[in-house]
Chain A
């Protein structure tokens, strides 16, 4: 029974980490769309290139956070949570 509980806890951590890392897909798509639109804007108004680049840099940095949150959560679930569950179940 104890072994089963530990197994379920570890399985939950692994599945949770996998699900958390799905969050990394969104920023990639978002950044891709943002740069495509920025390219469109620069094509129309080449004189705005530096301001578009600057805004897009900050925008991309903010967009990446979601991925980093998911990634940090995944790492915590892989490296920290199993130990805590094992301590709790012991």
Chain B
């Protein structure tokens, strides 16, 4: 007998939904028959605002596009402008940038651990991982002055040099976080309930993954080894030694394990960065930001954020203001077309679980 279909609005005011967005579900009994993503609740018109701002004024704006991990945005815009202008970046600044990006990745993974286990009903984990994330935010605060938004990376380098003894404090924090990993394993990754919830849920078919535009941990969770840091190395990633973890299965569990291993890789990358970081300038001369003309040109740059490829398409027409900055958030594809496909057949209780595992981040979908 065919069950009656009901429409269920999940969000925007819903504790399980990742941010301010809504998924309109058609359910038959407990099973999702059709899913439709509704976004736009966080549309602040950043791309329009950047067209009426000077180049330097764009930097405080772009970091607000993705809240859990703002640094890839700054990195992308800075690198795009550098590419159009042909501006050189000192070696030390490149190392500092990699360190900031990896710290941001770790902070974001810790926040994801909290969200992922929280949506499975495991409420101890957020208390631990979000609390530990604050140690990284403290480092950011010391380095840049801001906990969440840093506005630290800018064209030609970074805004400030590392404070005295900062490297030691980073290493100390890394040691602490590494010592916490066994605890996280016991509580979350080796937890039988979590494994039962995560295995076989939200499966992305491997043969479709590339065509559907899946990137980042969801792609690597399908066993396909692609990472912007390897495919198109930026900054100094080609001089660092790290592996790109992959996992077979394409389900929530595989994505969780990929992120779990990426966390370890980030720790190792930052340690290498601190070891290899040269002395010297941390920025090249920045032009007067009030009269800064970027020559006409265009650039598409991309960074591996924690959710996948984060791209910026920047067009300059040789004026004081950008012509067009178009952001490709990793969640743009994951949160709309992919989510609508893989939610079909899922249980209602798994919807927010799957959303968390894809890292759906609505501010970068609608910007």
Do A and B share a complex?
A: no
Q: Which residues of A contact B (CB under 8 A)?
A: none
Q: Which residues of B contact A (CB under 8 A)?
A: none
